[in-house]
Amino acid sequence: MTNKYMYFIANWKMYGGLNSLNSLNKVIKFSKSREIKKGRLIYCPPYTLLNSFFTKFKNCLIDIGAQNCHQNYEYGPHTGYINPRMLKNIGANYVIIGHSENRTNGETDKLINKKIKSALRSKLKVIFCIGETLAEKKNKKTKSVLLKQIKFGLNKINNNSNLFIAYEPVWSIGTGRIPSIKELEQTIRFIKNKFKKKIPKILYGGSVNPRNIKDLKTIKDLDGFLIGGASQNPKKFIDIVKKTYN
């Protein structure tokens, strides 16, 4: 059982339409119960649903965020992109940056750094994703990979008050496999030790589900979870939250 204030961030990825809104009713009802007093629920749907989610959650404490943003703070001729100021204007308070799926599609540490700076300037809370591939893990490069991602991704960023670091092993996302609890404890401790000033909040992501949450919640240095596929199912999402506190 944990008594910590925890964050539960639902990353819906490229799923969902307007017909998905009714599935949120159970989560809204749950968010108003006494069971969630020490937790914060945050949904990150596709851009197309941000405004609908914002309207849906107006009368409860569930917050919303986006799954990515453009690096430019100023408006400009970037067809098809959305910058952090636009996200803030539509009601988002969080944004996921550096997810491995986007890194695979060409996002560099330098670009991620620009996005984080722009998002923080726009008063968004940043969920900064880091993680190693299976090959990097097998070659015992996990720590060096994470160190590089942190060093360059957070270059010249000194204020960590609006920053979350989500450790997501690339080989764990969507596979049902997670690191051992001992491995996770060591990695989370390694991440925290890299910050001399205020330590950002640390999340774990990668196949988080109602079955493994009982083990994951025992990691004392964690501040919450970034939840992918399981968050699209209201019962599974609620179960994850409940089992964190039971």
Active site positions, annotated: 99, 168
Instruction: Give the Cα separation of 101 and 81 in Å (integer).
Output: 17
Sorted by sequence, the CB contacts under 8 Å of residue 129 that are 6+ apart come out as 96, 97, 98, 99, 100, 166, 168, 205, 226
Distance CA 75, CA 221 (A): 39
Instruction: For residue 218, give Cα distances in angstroms to 7, 205, 221.
Output: 15, 15, 9
Q: Give dist(CA 127, CA 125) in Å, integer.
A: 7
Three-class SS of residue 66?
strand
What's phi and psi for 237, nearest 5 deg?
-65, -45
Burial of 185 (0-12, 13-18, 19+ CB in 10 A): middle
Of 66, 151, 170, 62, which is closest to residue 112 (Cα–Cα)? 151
